[in-house]
Amino acid sequence: MMAGEHELIAQLLRPTPPASTRLPRRLPLAWLGLLLPLALLMLAEVAVRLAWVAPNLLPAPSDVLVTLQELAQQGLPGHVAASSLRVATGFALGSSLALLLGSVVGLSRVAEALLNPSFQALRAIPSLAWVPLLLLWLGIDEAPKIVLIAIGAFFPVYMGVASGFRDVDRKLVEVARLRGLSRVALARRVLLPAALPAVLTGLRTGLSLAWMFMVAAELIAASQGLGYLLTDGRETSRADIVLAAILLLALLGKLSDSLMATLETRALHWRDSFGGASS
Amino acid sequence: MLNVHIHRKRFAGRAEPVLGELRLSLAAGEMLTLVGASGCGKSTLLRIVAGLDTEFEGQVLLDGRPQQGLSRDIGYVFQEPRLFPWLTVAENVGFDVGQGYDAARVSALLAEVGLTGYERSLPKQLSGGQAQRVAIARALYTRPRLLLLDEPFSAVDAFTRIKLQDLIIELARAHGSSLLLVTHDVEEAVLLSDRVLVLEALPGRIARELVVDGAPRPRLRSAPRLAALRTEVLNALHAVHAL
């Protein structure tokens, strides 16, 4: 026993090799970000269990998980699917329109002079201001929700595409001109790849805005979806449902953003940049 | 082969023309160098010949026919490599109208510039000298009869520059291309060319023409005749206040 103890102390006293000094520093740093949320969750759990706060206002994290499990059996997949479908449709609609109009504006000075001021003016309108109008025009069905999401996704993508095309290095364009490329070929083979970083950034921002506007749209009028769950939770005073929906929104948003980030890294592997396209 | 007559070239918003009355001609296979102070319009002249700049008073004749716009008979090597970063080396060299490229020709050209096996590399993996070699191979891809070089070696180190200078001479001879070179490097001028044109600035005009005759190729950098010519070019540059 004693010998073993001495050995242990000797081991502890022995200077650590330089290679290992870096590892324990890096590991805590990466996990440091989890410290605060975990501590808060623990605090919330303890606070509820010790009855410091009313559980109907702040449900214990464990209760939220239980609620999630219950919801999963009561049509939660349907809610998630409905919301995801809306985001996908709205984003597809808004971003493809933005890609089209953005490239027209980015490619042609005439189109830019003609269209850009109007788009900039429209962009200045807080997008939620469209809601009453959309409800008036399109009723309370799917259409106004999809359109609102599309509006949300449109502008970041439009800005990314238009500025991306406009900022393409003149020097590269000259090389293509020397080869006698047509305008269409120039756009496809030089301008589009050169503008891709800005376009992808726009698409990524557009996607996260699409999630945001989906919630806004569903909060107003919906019978299914995560936004509906939020409203439902509030109306039935079920904070646990609200929190469960928020948690799901965070997860879905992060998931889709990670997918976009992966796509971005793949598509831009040729970029000679510092640190790559991570996060 | 090439006849350039520029009456005047001025940039928008500038009162003084950047190029004045200027004539130059280039025979097939000839190598001509333009030297002169910064801003004397050397690069502008090259851009006009290439057809990149069409807003000038004058005429560019290639084989007696007036040039309108860009010609595939003219290859251009810029000061910087200007490779498309998203394309591989081979795709950069074979970048042309239409899809796809002649892989055999691309490989042959890459071999000629000493980059065998780099076909699938990306530009970001190349050094500055290698990237410029790729740019030279790309300029040769369309089998141009005239190669325009705008300070092509100014951004690479001295050793690379010497290698690239030898390479370009070799390639121009092998491909039978004429060479029109803009440079700040007087040694490069006398080493590479058959004739050196010294330009004066504002407006850009030819102040002096020096013929680098009798010097056989490949020329030795240490040849006394070249040293004498270098002094002559330097004197001419002094005379036009370029130095």
Least confident of A29-38, A91-100, A121-130, B1-10: B1-10
Q: Using one digit for the tens of pLDDT, what is the confidence trace for A217-266?
A: 888 878 888 989 899 888 888 888 898 999 999 999 999 999 999 999 88
Gap between the Cα atoms of A99 and A141, Å rounded: 27
pLDDT band, residue A137 (cuts 50/70/90):
very high
pLDDT at B236 over 80: no
pLDDT at B214 over 60: no
Chain B residues in contact with A190 by the CB 8 A cut-off are: 84
Nearest chain B CA: its distance from A157 CA (Å): 21
Q: Give the pLDDT score at A277.
A: 43
* Mean pLDDT, residues A115-121 taken together: 91
pLDDT at B3 over 90: no
Which chain A residue shows the shortest CA-CA distance from B71?
Answer: A178
Domains of chain B, CATH where assigned: 2-39+54-184+197-239 (3.40.50.300)
Q: Which of B84, B97, B122 sits opposite A180 (nearest CB)?
A: B97
Q: Using one digit for the tens of pLDDT, what is the confidence trace for A144-191?
A: 999 999 999 999 999 999 989 888 888 898 888 888 888 888 888 888
> Exposure of B7 by Cβ count < 10 A (0-12 exposed, 13-18 middle, 19+ buried)?
middle
| C-beta atoms of A272 and B50 within 8 A | no
Distance of CA B129 to the CA centre of its chain: 16
pLDDT at A21 over 60: no
pLDDT at A95 over 90: yes
Q: Which of B87, B97, B123 sits opposite A181 (nearest CB)?
A: B97
Residues 187-206 of A with CB under 8 A from B: 189-190, 193-194, 196
pLDDT at B57 over 60: yes
Q: Helix, strand, or coil here: A216?
A: helix
Look at A221 and A45; give whichever has higher pLDDT: A45
* Mean pLDDT, residues A75-86 taken together: 91
Hey, of A172, A175, A189, A271, which one would you mutate to test binding to chain B, going by the most B CBs within 10 A of its CB?
A175
> What are the residues facing B197 on neighbouring strands?
B34, B209
Highest-scoring range by mean pLDDT, A79-88, B37-46, B93-102, B211-220:
A79-88
Q: Helix, strand, or coil here: A273?
A: coil
* Mean pLDDT, residues A88-96 taken together: 95
pLDDT band, residue B155 (cuts 50/70/90):
confident
* ipTM of the prediction: 0.83
pLDDT at A14 over 90: no
Chain B residues in contact with A174 by the CB 8 A cut-off are: 52, 78, 82
| C-beta atoms of A172 and B82 within 8 A | yes
Average pLDDT, chain A: 84
| C-beta atoms of A271 and B96 within 8 A | no
pLDDT at A30 over 80: no
Which chain B residue shows the shortest CA-CA distance from A273?
Answer: B124
pLDDT band, residue B97 (cuts 50/70/90):
confident
Is any Cβ of chain A less than 8 angstroms from the Cβ of B149?
no
Angle at which helix A130-138 crosses helix A142-166, to 10 degrees, equals 130
| C-beta atoms of B70 and A180 within 8 A | yes
Is any Cβ of chain A less than 8 angstroms from the Cβ of B99?
no
Enter the tokens of residue A208: 């996260």
pTM of the model: 0.76
Domains of chain A, CATH where assigned: 61-266 (1.10.3720.10)
The candidate with the shortest Cα–Cα distance to B109, out of B127, B128, B81, B89, is B89
Q: Using one digit for the tens of pLDDT, what is the confidence trace for B7-41?
A: 777 777 777 777 777 788 888 878 888 887 777 77
